[in-house]
Amino acid sequence: METEFETLLSKIKSLCLGADLQTIKDAFEFAKEAHAGQNRLSGESVITHLLETASILADWRLDTTSIVAGLLHDIVEDTDKTLNQIENKFGSEVAVIVNGVTKIGEIKLRGRQEEEFVENIRKMILVMAHDLRVVLIKLADRYHNMKTLSFLPLEKQKRIAKETLEVYAPLAERLGIGEMKGKLEDLAFPYLYPNEFAWVKSFSAPYYHQAEEYVDKAKATIEKEMEKEGLIAQTHGRSKHLYSLWHKLMRPEVNKDITKIYDLVALRILVNSIRDCYAVLGEVHKIWKPVPYEGISDFIAVPKPNGYRSIHTKVFGPDGRIIEVQIRTYEMHQEAENGIAAHWHYAQAKSAGVSDKKLSEGVFAPDEKLSWVKQLVAWQKEIVDSREFLKALKFDALSHRIFVFSPKGDVFDLPVGATPIDFAFTVHTALGDKAAGCRVNGKLVPLDYKLKSGEMVEILLDKNRKAPSRDWSNFVVTQIARREIAKHFNKS
Ligand code: MN
């Protein structure tokens, strides 16, 4: 166990410069004592699971708070240690995150009825909205759980795999961690569709093999060309994930014809700057002609909704075979692998004046001045606002909802178009009855203002007020507000 922890520490030292190693050691000792003697169904000790979880968080270069919370994430649920003890020892930030991870764990995403399912997803988003690090830890936790899923009873395997495919993989995608999305899907695939998985795996194997050899050949050619032009780049092949291959094979226009899939193994080229991306694109097209109509997708000029950036081009490669080439900077690559965490890390490093060379190596100390919290607030707003995100979760019902905060940080969800009066009655009838004004993010707004996700809403009270105003019924949208307002006027 000690050696496993040493391995984790050295990873943290090299990837998360500026991490507080002593606190991480304390968290490890604390967890080790609390979980002493506990084993998982796989036979591994619980500590191994915690170290694996923390190790993924370190890969994402997250901060000390995240890694500490990662080591402690199962304590409240599985030991007699309390949240208070965690707060006393590691501070309230860690406690809030551990509490969030525990809460999400308690939400069962298996409602039989679609409605119940949506309700549970909504609860999950509410927990997440407090601190995005909660969901990053949950993803790391889920990833390791999926790797050891075969030790669980059959029924549990199916439920967890389904949840992973329908909730956690789309979440990872939305957070821009494309790599994790693909890995989670591939881990869930055999549990949910065993026959299809077996078929795709064996049927595609020789094609993968062929494609790899072919990409190696293309790689040698383009490397020579780039060297001639003085372009410094790293190249490698990347294999398509199986689950995503299966989906593509099932599309009507592909109709299980694997020779129509050109990115089975893609050639990936990493360079230092955006300028170099376009220079490399020029070199690629000089030696291999782009496929008409299928040609180039420039996700640098027009990034995908989740922030993904790269240039993809399909070309007639060596021997006239079609091949996909993906060109991106090291920074874009980091982002695609590590999602929002890398985003944050890069922004910090750049503003701290870290050199391009260091950036390309991906090793640098974060600047303390820019806080996690600031970045997270921005991301939280985006995550609750985004229709794309909800669409990815397949729950349109949620796109008709907004999420707002009380001054104390409690989250309330309301229908789109909700006003401060709707908010007030949702919080408490008395708050609605006495509402006289409203501040949103500190600024005064009219009572018929339409609230937006992520806003902090504060209701100003008039203690002498006895009843709501009749006019309010012209603009409120919630049942509760309507009912409460009507109550006062039906009586008289
Ligand atoms: Mn866990």
DSSP string, 472-485: GGGT--SHHHHHHH
Query: For residue 435, what is the domain's CATH number?
Result: 3.10.20.30
33 and 181 share one domain: yes
One domain, residues 72 and 138: yes
Q: How far apart are CA 58 and CA 143, in angstroms?
A: 14
Residues 137 and 230 in one domain: no
116 and 169 in a common domain: yes
Average pLDDT, the chain: 83
- The answer, yes or no, to whether residue 367 has pLDDT greater than 50, is no
Q: For residue 124, what pLDDT band results from cuts at 50, 70 and 90?
A: low
**Distance between Cα 143 and ligand 1 center (Å):** 10
Q: Is 43 left (phi over 0), alpha (psi -120 to 50) or beta?
A: left
Answer yes or no: do 182 and 213 share one domain: no
Q: Report the 10 Å Cβ neighbour count for 51.
A: 21
Q: For residue 67, how far is its CA from the centre of ligand 1 (angstroms)?
A: 13
Lookup: tokens for 64: 């000390």
Examine residue 388 and state whether it is found in any structural domain, yes or no: no
Asked about 283 being catalytic, the answer comes back as no
- Cα(43) to ligand 1 centroid in Å equals 15
Distance 203 CA to ligand 1 centre (A): 35
Determine the pLDDT at residue 62: 83
To the query of whether residue 77 is one of the catalytic residues in this protein, the response is: yes
Pairing relationship of beta strands 401-405 and 443-445 according to DSSP bridges: unpaired
Q: Is residue 269 part of a domain?
A: yes
**86 and 139, same domain (yes or no):** yes
Q: Which amino acid is at 84?
A: N
| Range(s) of the domain holding residue 201 | 194-360
pLDDT at 171: 76
Nearest to 142 by CA among 159, 130, 154: 159
Provide the residue count of the chain.
492
| Structural domain contains residue 377 | no
Distance 101 CA to ligand 1 centre (A): 9
Which of the residues 29, 78, 116, 361 is marked catalytic?
78
**How far apart are alpha carbons 346 and 176 in whole angstroms?**
14
- Same domain? 57 vs 95: yes
Q: What is the mean pLDDT of residues 426-440?
A: 92
Residue carrying structure tokens 């909504």? 122
Ligand 1 centre and the CA of 83: distance in Å? Answer: 16
Distance 481 CA to ligand 1 centre (A): 41
Contact 185, 243 (CB under 8 A): yes
Q: Which of 77, 115, 229, 410 is catalytic?
A: 77
At 12-59, the pLDDT tens digits run 998 877 889 999 999 999 999 999 999 998 889 999 999 999 999 998
Q: Which residues of 240-302 form beta strands (DSSP E)?
A: 265-271, 296-298
Residues 212 and 114 reside in one and the same domain: no
Cβ 110 vs Cβ 163: under 8 Å: yes
Number of domains into which the chain is organized: 3
Predicted confidence (pLDDT) at residue 136 exceeds the cutoff of 80 = yes
Give the per-residue pLDDT at 128: 64
d(CA 398, CA 386): 10
Q: Examine the pLDDT at 456 and tell me if it is beyond 90.
A: no
Q: Whole-model pTM above 0.75?
A: no
User: CA–CA separation, 1 vs 45, rounded Å?
Assistant: 9
Residue 312: what are its φ and ψ, rounded to 5°? -110, 135
Strand order in 322-329's β-sheet? 233-239, 265-271, 322-329, 311-316, 296-298
164 shares its domain with 247: no
How close is the Cα of 160 to the center of ligand 1, in Å?
13
Q: Strand 401-405 vs strand 411-415: parallel, antiparallel, or unpaired?
A: antiparallel
pLDDT at residue 373 in the model: 36
Is residue 420 classed exposed, middle or buried when 0-12, 13-18 and 19+ CB atoms within 10 A define those classes?
buried
- Residues whose Cβ atom is located within 5 A of ion ligand 1: 74, 141
Q: Among 209-218, 339-348, 450-459, which is the least confidently predicted range? A: 339-348
Residue 347 resides in a domain? yes
267 plus 327 within the same structural domain: yes
